[in-house]
Structure 1
Amino acid sequence: MWRNEMMHRITKADGPVDVVVIGGGATGVGIAVDAASRGYSTVLLERDDFAKGTSSRSTKLVHGGVRYLAQGNVRLVLEALRERGIMRKNAPALVRDLPFVVPAYQWWEIPFYYIGLKLYDLLSGKRSLGRSTYISSSSVEKFLPTIRKKGLKGGIVYYDGQFDDSRMAVSLAKTAEEHGAAVLNYAEVNQIDKDEKADVFHLKFKDHISDQEIALSAKTVFNATGVYVDDILGMEQEQTRPLIAPSRGAHIVVDGRFLKSRHGIMIPKTSDGRVLFAIPWYDKTLIGTTDAPVEETNKEPQPSDQEINFILETADAYMTPSPKASDIQSVFAGLRPLAAPEESGHKTKEISRGHRVLTSPHGMITIIGGKWTTYRRMAEDAVDEAIKLGRLSEKTCRTDHLPVWVSALDKKYGLGEEGNAEVKVESKVEGNEIVVGYPWTAGDVRYMIREEYALTIEDILSRRMRLLVLDADRALKIAPEIGAMLQEELGSEVYDLKADLDAFKALAKKYRWKSL
């Protein structure tokens, strides 16, 4: 089994490894790829599953950030647009171009949006995904059959990217593995000590699969745990001021008939000043996101009534027919690890999405802020910082032209240009499909277990197959069959079917909107 190989890579180390990365979200897997591809001995440890947290709960966009341009943050937009192009080039099976329409209901909006989006094109340079253009109201209706027609004056088409976030995380973990890294999910770091004399870190982690506690040492430790970075820092030093100001973003998923388009809708300014997207995703319509400050962090953040009602009310102003609460097939929310401002009083939508690389007095390197699109640059900056500090020997970053590992499943069903087809919901069932209306087979599930690090029903249905976030009811129905396959593949000495099934049933109910 792949996990035995990963354990062997960790335990066979003679002396400290060069790099230990704590956290298997976008930032953590990005650092593991960067470090391993430069030739450093690398270990990646994730407490839960890869992308269990925020990194599987995004709006699924690879974008420069149109609203950051409106805020005047040109530097951040330039960086993100450059990274968008690199991500598109390095992972063509997972990333594709997605045209958006910005509908205009006031005449002044047309030149205002047009000028802003032409500047967006200009900043994209040679990495542009397409030219922004003005289109008439009749063309808007053609591209967006369900758009509200009353008062429509026209619109602007612009281009950004779309991807599958959790599948990208798994692919990056596999990329790190291919370059020699040991990558482990369900491996929780619970102790970090610094030997100042030898200038090395000593860590202990709990392997939640075998219940073993394992020790290892490292020259460099990267804290890439998102909203939990303060917890990890607390193991190494006495923390004074929190580094993270978490913000919750909520989404709903409804049937594709509410969009009926290959284009997305971008609503640049909602009633409270946020941006809202409605995008096609695996033949469904994904609508979000909200931006609400939160006081506490947890593994399964729940959207509030207010957030869901805000999404539905905003959709109602732009879509005909518009989705109702009874049409919601899944809801999900994630916590953005925004860098806390120096002064209080900032709303989370006003806090910069730029990233910061910080070094503790003992030398642990922590990465905060950022977003999926800039994961590669965040990783490069973090590893470069370790080199500047003398913790690593100088080696050049390779990830701006490093292909991302391609899953056989993404070749079959991926969103990107190398994928053969998208998941076609409600299509005619053929062959050995295990979920009516969806294409996945038992062989696909076994591939996820053998090749994509899946160890639980949630791993498969939420982050490999994506069924939980597409259709929570369908996910609940197929869960026992998925659990049976996990038991066959992993063995009862490793896998507890009843406990896993019970845990998944409790989790899946949180993805069903309460009014159903």
Structure 2
Amino acid sequence: MWKAFNRKRIGYAGVLLATGAASYHFYNETTLKKRRLQPYRRHLATFSPDLFMSETHSDALNTVQLEASSNKPHTLWTPPSRGDLLNMLKGHKDEPPFDILIIGGGATGSGAALDAATRGLKVALVERDDFAAGTSSRSTKLVHGGVRYLEKAVKELDYGQYKLVKEALHERYTFLQIAPYLSYQLPIMLPIYKWWQVPYFWFGSKFYDKLAGREAIESSYFLTRGKALEAFPWLNKNKLVGAMHNDARMNVAIALTAISLGAVVVNHVEATRLIKNEDGKVSGACLRDTLTGEEWTINTKGVINATGAFTDSIRSMDNVKNDNIVAPSSGVHVILPNYYSPRKMGLLDPSTSDGRVIFFLPWEGNTIAGTTDSPTELTYDPMPKEEEIQWILDEIRRYLSPDIKVRRGDVLAAWSGIRPLVRDPSAKNTAGLVRSHIIHVSDSNLITVAGGKWTTYRAMAKDAIDKAIDVFELKPINECLTETAKLIGSHGYSKTMFIKLIQQFGLETETAQHLANSYGDRAWAVAALSKPTGKRWPVFGQRLSPFYPYIEAEVRYAVRREYACTLVDVIARRTRLAFLNAQATLESLPYIIEIMSEELGWTPEKQIQEFDKATEFLFTMGLPRPKEKLTINKVQIESAKSSEHEDIYSRSRFQPEELASFQKVFSELDVSGDGRIKTANIDKALAFVGYSIPGNVLNSIMTDAKLDESDSIEFEEFLEIMSGVKDLKESQFKNALFDHQPDKHEQKRIPIERSSGGV
């Protein structure tokens, strides 16, 4: 027995040694021993000898010592500073030009930079705003194979749709392999409303499984009504499996991995003009640092345009006569409280009222619902339209139990993302939009990669680099390695590492799980930056908001190690707070500004500028715009009034005198004496108790209470309406959201943004 035990231990040790050797070989061979680029890479690929990278880390280490060497995380690579990257981007006269300049730091652009770096090419990337600042951070967060595309492929005998599904299924599998901490499996239920749909969806799902082959996550299966109701108590469904991911953090991980392999990737740098050589071919670009205004030029053998929805702006730099190929489409999503969905299962409804598909998924502790699909104008900061938000809520009401009231005030955040649907400029018929991606080469050799979706970003990047190697006559050292190359944070990650974080840093369980699932093995470095709470528990990790597990250390880490330069970078793309709860984010801004000011040396004037830009961004995330300008001091004062333990979803509680007043008014309007009043008299009842409400707002309240189709209501239903009114009255920042009329009735004008913790 002892021998068997020793053999097992030796076996485990062998596996660990083999894994370590393979990791060392990958980093050593792929990143450091490319002789042709050795000087270039030596400047970038510097590995920190210690996990802890500053004095701040050692403070935390002294407080909470690492207990055993077996629990210590592996050595972490330290990324170069943004200043170092800018110097490399500017280069020197005696240096050879870059092989490729990529414009656009979304998923596709960052993926292309990573792909080129794994092949040993000298590549640079510039992003006008921040990584994932556009569509890449505003997705549905679902990495799916495309069930609807498969349905179209069968019905229309469309081989193109079939290939799209096949590619998406493969890339979904790759997602889970290269970034296991940022992506996870999520069972998806498909509603079945009619008996004939059972065999239809069953055969379709099995065909989907067959198409996925070995790369299937889990086979689909039929759920009986009872089993379905156990998962979704109000639904009768059939089950599929997709994968969820954190899109913005995935984008940042791709960019950081590209940098670790030698790419020069810089955010907040825009291309203002393309440079052409004597032959009329693109050979460089004029760049500008949007933070400092500094300008310079860069020489390169070729340029790839990966700017997503803004593809046509770069194409017009190449040739002002180029026709637009992007047809922007708006996709609106809303965030609801977590009680709207099970924590480990989502829902897909392919039978909405107008034939569109709607997803209903748990994400980051809340519920995400969407999406719409409608033509829109191209803008940097798209705003969600109220009618699209209402459409999503109406669709949710269709498949939830009647006793669950979907209220507009439950919307914690809402945003709009622009899908860059494209027309292929090389096709003879340019009327149709392409759901897959296109690679187009202009007469001046500008390569444009456009279209596609998050799921297929890696395939798009590979195709773009393949084309660049051919067009620019480059000589790569390797073939594409991105199908197996793990992203930053994946090498030392395990599903149980959050337990070690709790044991070694005294973090809350929710915080430790969040750090592990957001940073992978980098969670050690983030936790080491955390400040003591001054409490018995948790020991470290001061929350940015009492409602979410984001901590102050993440802000410091984002600035020091993830190139966060602005307040919006932190609240939207390093943390996801702005996408989860616009109001909670607003309340957290003063604290985040304080931390970033310490890290970046912001002046009071700079703090105000960043606050103003952040609040403008939050208005695009569903935060109501107040009549008076918000200031840092005003937010601090209002936030201090609310208790940390206040339930943001609490229902209004009426005082005895209020109930007596409501009962008196209700009795006066109950002329028939049957305990009901006509809905036509509700506005009168509200006026009697001191509220003046516009008709459209009253309709919204009635819809939320599911009383919009009733001719009359009972007293309990009247109280439901008054509860919705009072919820808004007692919401935070009420002075900014209400018109106070100080007469004897305390009349208030109610805006449409009705809230019970939402916006």
The alignment's TM-score, normalised by the length of structure 2, stands at 0.63
Q: Which residue matches 2:142?
A: 61
Q: Which residue matches 1:334?
A: 417
- For 1:34 and 1:353, locate their aligned partners in 2 and report how far apart those are by CA, in whole Å: 23
Unaligned runs of 5+ in 1: 149-153, 421-427
Deviations 1:373-416 (A, max 9, x none): 10000011011111222432244111111111118998724279
Q: Which residue matches 2:450?
A: 368
The alpha-carbon distance between structure 1 residues 481 and 416, as it changes in their structure 2 partners (threshold 3 A), is closer
User: Match of 2:83, as an amino acid?
Assistant: N
The alpha-carbon distance between structure 1 residues 307 and 344, as it changes in their structure 2 partners (threshold 3 A), is farther
On the 8 A contact 1:30/1:376 being kept in 2, the answer is: yes
User: Match of 2:324, as an amino acid?
Assistant: P
On the 8 A contact 1:30/1:379 being kept in 2, the answer is: yes
1:484 deviates by 1.7
- For 1:291 and 1:388, locate their aligned partners in 2 and report how far apart those are by CA, in whole Å: 36
Secondary structure, counterpart of 2:327 in structure 1:
coil
Greater CA drift, 103-112 or 336-345: 336-345
Q: Which residue matches 1:45?
A: 126
Q: Which residue matches 1:259?
A: 341
- For 2:275 and 2:556, locate their aligned partners in 1 and report how far apart those are by CA, in whole Å: 39
The alpha-carbon distance between structure 1 residues 49 and 463, as it changes in their structure 2 partners (threshold 3 A), is same
- For 1:82 and 1:419, locate their aligned partners in 2 and report how far apart those are by CA, in whole Å: 27
On the 8 A contact 2:124/2:263 being kept in 1, the answer is: yes
Equivalent residue in structure 1 for 2:486, among 403, 406, 420: 403
The alpha-carbon distance between structure 1 residues 415 and 64, as it changes in their structure 2 partners (threshold 3 A), is farther
Q: Which residue matches 1:135?
A: 223
Equivalent residue in structure 2 for 1:453, among 563, 581, 587: 563
Q: Which residue matches 1:425?
A: none
On the 8 A contact 1:96/1:416 being kept in 2, the answer is: no
Greater CA drift, 108-117 or 505-514: 505-514
- For 2:513 and 2:560, locate their aligned partners in 1 and report how far apart those are by CA, in whole Å: 15
Q: Does 1:414 align with 2:487?
A: no
1:372 deviates by 0.5
Equivalence map 1:303-318=2 (5 Å)? 303-318=384-399
User: Match of 1:406, as an amino acid?
Assistant: G
Q: Does 1:504 align with 2:614?
A: yes
Q: Which residue matches 1:217?
A: 299
Deviations 1:177-215 (A, max 9, x none): 001111111101101011135966121111012221021
- For 2:237 and 2:105, locate their aligned partners in 1 and report how far apart those are by CA, in whole Å: 40
Secondary structure, counterpart of 1:245 in structure 2:
strand
Q: Which residue matches 2:713?
A: none
Greater CA drift, 197-206 or 88-97: 197-206
1:240 deviates by 3.1
Equivalent residue in structure 2 for 1:268, among 350, 353, 378: 350
- For 1:224 and 1:325, locate their aligned partners in 2 and report how far apart those are by CA, in whole Å: 37
- For 1:281 and 1:495, locate their aligned partners in 2 and report how far apart those are by CA, in whole Å: 36
Q: Which residue matches 1:167?
A: 249
Q: Which residue matches 2:689?
A: none
- For 1:404 and 1:213, locate their aligned partners in 2 and report how far apart those are by CA, in whole Å: 32
Q: Does 1:77 align with 2:165?
A: yes
Deviations 1:1-37 (A, max 9, x none): 7111111221235131111100011110010100111
On the 8 A contact 1:410/1:419 being kept in 2, the answer is: no
Unaligned runs of 5+ in 2: 1-79, 154-160, 494-511, 524-535, 625-752, 755-759
Q: Does 1:437 align with 2:547?
A: yes
The alpha-carbon distance between structure 1 residues 41 and 142, as it changes in their structure 2 partners (threshold 3 A), is same
- For 1:419 and 1:161, locate their aligned partners in 2 and report how far apart those are by CA, in whole Å: 22
1:108 deviates by 1.2
Secondary structure, counterpart of 2:483 in structure 1:
helix
On the 8 A contact 1:63/1:160 being kept in 2, the answer is: yes
1:232 deviates by 0.5
1:39 deviates by 0.8
The alpha-carbon distance between structure 1 residues 92 and 240, as it changes in their structure 2 partners (threshold 3 A), is same
Equivalent residue in structure 2 for 1:359, among 434, 441, 447: 441
Deviations 1:231-258 (A, max 9, x none): 1011111333211111110000000111
The alpha-carbon distance between structure 1 residues 465 and 429, as it changes in their structure 2 partners (threshold 3 A), is farther
Equivalent residue in structure 2 for 1:297, among 378, 383, 388: 378
On the 8 A contact 1:200/1:217 being kept in 2, the answer is: no
Q: Which residue matches 1:151?
A: none
On the 8 A contact 1:143/1:261 being kept in 2, the answer is: no
Q: Which residue matches 1:7?
A: 86
- For 1:399 and 1:302, locate their aligned partners in 2 and report how far apart those are by CA, in whole Å: 35
Equivalent residue in structure 2 for 1:36, among 98, 117, 124: 117
The alpha-carbon distance between structure 1 residues 61 and 76, as it changes in their structure 2 partners (threshold 3 A), is same
On the 8 A contact 1:315/1:322 being kept in 2, the answer is: no
RMSD of Structure 2 on Structure 1 (CA):
2.3
The alpha-carbon distance between structure 1 residues 90 and 361, as it changes in their structure 2 partners (threshold 3 A), is same
1:261 deviates by 3.6
The alpha-carbon distance between structure 1 residues 411 and 511, as it changes in their structure 2 partners (threshold 3 A), is closer
- For 2:263 and 2:513, locate their aligned partners in 1 and report how far apart those are by CA, in whole Å: 22
Point out the structure with the larger strand share: 1
Q: Does 1:230 align with 2:230?
A: no
On the 8 A contact 1:254/1:323 being kept in 2, the answer is: no
Secondary structure, counterpart of 1:338 in structure 2:
strand
The alpha-carbon distance between structure 1 residues 61 and 389, as it changes in their structure 2 partners (threshold 3 A), is same
On the 8 A contact 2:284/2:302 being kept in 1, the answer is: no
- For 2:213 and 2:259, locate their aligned partners in 1 and report how far apart those are by CA, in whole Å: 33
The alpha-carbon distance between structure 1 residues 448 and 495, as it changes in their structure 2 partners (threshold 3 A), is farther
On the 8 A contact 1:93/1:419 being kept in 2, the answer is: no
Deviations 1:222-280 (A, max 9, x none): 00001111110111113332111111100000001111341001101211111100000
- For 1:101 and 1:266, locate their aligned partners in 2 and report how far apart those are by CA, in whole Å: 6
Secondary structure, counterpart of 1:17 in structure 2:
coil
On the 8 A contact 2:597/2:603 being kept in 1, the answer is: no
Deviations 1:28-58 (A, max 9, x none): 0010100111111111100001100100000
On the 8 A contact 2:583/2:623 being kept in 1, the answer is: no
Q: Which residue matches 1:490?
A: 600
1:417 deviates by 9.3
The alpha-carbon distance between structure 1 residues 284 and 121, as it changes in their structure 2 partners (threshold 3 A), is same
On the 8 A contact 2:437/2:450 being kept in 1, the answer is: yes
1:495 deviates by 8.8
Secondary structure, counterpart of 1:101 in structure 2:
strand
Deviations 1:160-193 (A, max 9, x none): 1110000000000000100111111110110101
1:511 deviates by 1.5
Indicate the structure (1 or 2) with the bigger Cα radius of gyration.
2
On the 8 A contact 1:288/1:311 being kept in 2, the answer is: yes
Q: Which residue matches 2:694?
A: none
Secondary structure, counterpart of 1:434 in structure 2:
strand
1:344 deviates by 7.4
Deviations 1:33-91 (A, max 9, x none): 00111111111100001100100000001111111111101110000101111111011
- For 2:405 and 2:263, locate their aligned partners in 1 and report how far apart those are by CA, in whole Å: 47
On the 8 A contact 1:201/1:219 being kept in 2, the answer is: yes
- For 2:267 and 2:605, locate their aligned partners in 1 and report how far apart those are by CA, in whole Å: 15
Greater CA drift, 403-412 or 5-14: 403-412
Deviations 1:325-371 (A, max 9, x none): 1110000110011112665776xxxx442000000100010011100
On the 8 A contact 1:99/1:263 being kept in 2, the answer is: yes
User: Match of 1:506, as an amino acid?
Assistant: E
- For 2:290 and 2:605, locate their aligned partners in 1 and report how far apart those are by CA, in whole Å: 11
The alignment's TM-score, normalised by the length of structure 1, stands at 0.92
